[in-house]
Amino acid sequence: MTDPSITRATVPGHVPAEAVCPWDHYEQPELLLDPVGCYDEVRAQREALYSPLFGGFWILTRYDDQRRVLQDPEHWSSVNSAIPNRGVRLLPVNLDPPIHTKYRSIVNGPFSPGSVRQLEGRIRTVCRELIERIDPTREVDFLDEFAKPFPATVFCAIFGLASEQYPRFIQWTEQVLHTSDVLVRDTATAELREYLGDLIAKRKTRPQSDLLTDLVQADVEGVGLTDDELLDFSQTIFTAGLDTVTNALAFMFRHLAENPQDRMSLLASPSLAPSAVEEFLRLYSFVQLVRTRRVDTKIAGVEVKQGEMVLLPLASSGRDADAFPGADEVIMERHPNRHLAFGAGPHRCVGSHLARLELRIALEEWHAAFPTYALVPPTGPVGHGGGVSGLTEVRMRIDSA
Amino acid sequence: MTDSANDRLVVRLDRDRCSGHARCASEEPDFFLLDEDGYSDLDADVVVKPDQIDAFRRGVAACPEDALTLEVAHETKELP
């Protein structure tokens, strides 16, 4: 049921009647059943839809159109990154070039492929320790026992957080990212910012060897970040770092639990892991990005006016048959695989190399320990929407699979 | 007059389009180098040797931004 508090805008005159569809990218029933596959039918019908919910916004469904928007920040601004708009600014997410480039460069180095490679041993240790704690004789809660603590523990170490508090961090992140309830979202945001503000103050007096200290010591053209900028920046890294790999793990391992032939292929050829990760990212691209048009234009057969927002459900581009032959099949050796799971253009996910490494290590270590596992079918819908869509339940049987 | 024997295959990088996916380097790390931020650091107009064509094709094709292109550079040469 769509929340009655959701504002429904009057549809502007330039929107063709056949494009209008009240799509709720948080709670749409089809999305709760299948957060990524729900866009297949939408895309089959239209390249562009207009949802009158949340004040009104466009949805672009095709790979080419989504990529065009993401690669053109001059005409498609990132000033809003959520529908409905957030009360706070995220850095560098809500900046456009050229100023974006200066802030973004602060985090490029720490998350580069070369920097991330240095962490492989530590990440593998975290992964193995979690797997050793899993009791394969009983039903496994894949999210709580693995998909949440694994990336959260890695992230806490990089960022400079006490990893034993990760359940609280995850709760904040989920409340900030997954709900259209503005009160829940803004309350969690305020709590998180107070917590981060306290940590930032501590790092200023006692620097540590962590990303938070890197931020505190960073400068843009010789000027350090203000306290507000530090909060805006650290909140972005925090929420992005805690939630996304969990969802990628959930989709990937649920697929393998449900499709033994794909799991067998991977077990027979472990060197397929890196390209298998790309294929699962393509098929389950769960992020929904937002851009705002700067000047009137035509795209995907519709007119988008200055100031109108577009939602780009990346799940839809990843499954677009015009961009990917055999788009609905899993082809673990697929090449090329130019999916947009990490976005495109200047805002491409800075954590993508860390995410890829964590996903590959998870495949390798999980399969070394548990080659056979089966999904415990959920009793109801387990999807959730928002800026980062995902699954709220993945339960497995290991021994009896 | 052009002499096709002097045509060379070159790889070009559009630095404005590269956004650091690093898919090229992931495919072919020996041929596609990255800078310390993880963005492509390909020299201008790298000439591809015949035995490297497949590797370069793979790296170029992997780029989600179309920042890399494989092009034939025509060299014009006066015939005597």
pLDDT score recorded for residue A166: 92
Q: What is the tens place of the pLDDT at every residue in A212-239? A: 999 999 999 999 999 999 999 999 999 8
Interface test mutation site (partner B, options A348, A350, A359, A360, max chain B beta carbons within 10 A): A348
Instruction: Please tell me the total count of domains within chain B.
Output: 1
Alpha-carbon distance of A303 to A313, in angstroms, equals: 19
Name the residue in chain A with its Cα closest to that of B23.
A338
With beta carbons under 8 A apart, name residues in chain B contacting A105.
37
The answer to whether the CB of A310 falls within 8 A of the CB of A291 is yes
Residue B42 lies in a domain: yes
Contact A335 B37 (CB under 8 A): no
Strands A302-304 and A297-299: antiparallel
Nearest neighbour of A348 by CB, restricted to B21, B27, B36: B21
The answer to whether the CB of A170 falls within 8 A of the CB of A152 is yes
Rg (CA), chain B: 14
Mean per-residue pLDDT, A236-250: 93
Q: Determine phi and psi for A390, rounding to 5 degrees.
A: 180, -165
pLDDT score recorded for residue A47: 98
Residue B26 lies in a domain: yes
Map tokens 């995410």 to a residue.
A355
Write the CATH number for B42.
Answer: 3.30.70.20
Residue B43 lies in a domain: yes
Residue B39 lies in a domain: yes
Nearest neighbour of B19 by CB, restricted to A109, A111, A346: A346
Residue B69 lies in a domain: yes
CB pairs under 8 A between A and B: 55
Residue B29 lies in a domain: yes
- With a cut of 80, say whether residue A40 has pLDDT above it: yes
Per-chain mean pLDDT for chain A:
95
Contact B26 A274 (CB under 8 A): yes
pLDDT score recorded for residue B1: 43
Q: What is the ipTM of this complex?
A: 0.93
Mean per-residue pLDDT, A315-335: 97
DSSP-based three-state secondary structure for A247: helix
- With a cut of 70, say whether residue B4 has pLDDT above it: no
With beta carbons under 8 A apart, name residues in chain B contacting A353.
22, 38
pLDDT tier at A401 (50, 70, 90 boundaries)? Answer: low
DSSP state of B7: -
Mean per-residue pLDDT, A9-22: 94
With beta carbons under 8 A apart, name residues in chain A contacting B64.
67, 338-340, 344
Contact A113 B39 (CB under 8 A): no
With beta carbons under 8 A apart, name residues in chain A contacting B38.
108, 111-114, 353
Q: What is the tens place of the pLDDT at every residue in A388-397? A: 999 999 999 9
pLDDT score recorded for residue B7: 80
Residues spanned by the domain of B33: 7-74
Residue B1 lies in a domain: no
DSSP H stretches of helix in B1-80: 23-27, 53-61
B23 to chain A, any CB pair closer than 8 A? The answer is yes
Interface test mutation site (partner A, options B21, B32, B56, max chain A beta carbons within 10 A): B21
Contact B62 A342 (CB under 8 A): no
Residue B80 lies in a domain: no
pLDDT > 90 in chain A, percent: 91
Report CA torsion sign: A310, A314, A316, A320: positive
pLDDT score recorded for residue A356: 98
**Does this model's pTM top 0.80?**
yes
- With a cut of 80, say whether residue B79 has pLDDT above it: no
Among A56-70, A81-95, A369-383, the range scoring the smallest mean pLDDT is A81-95
pLDDT > 70 in chain A, percent: 98
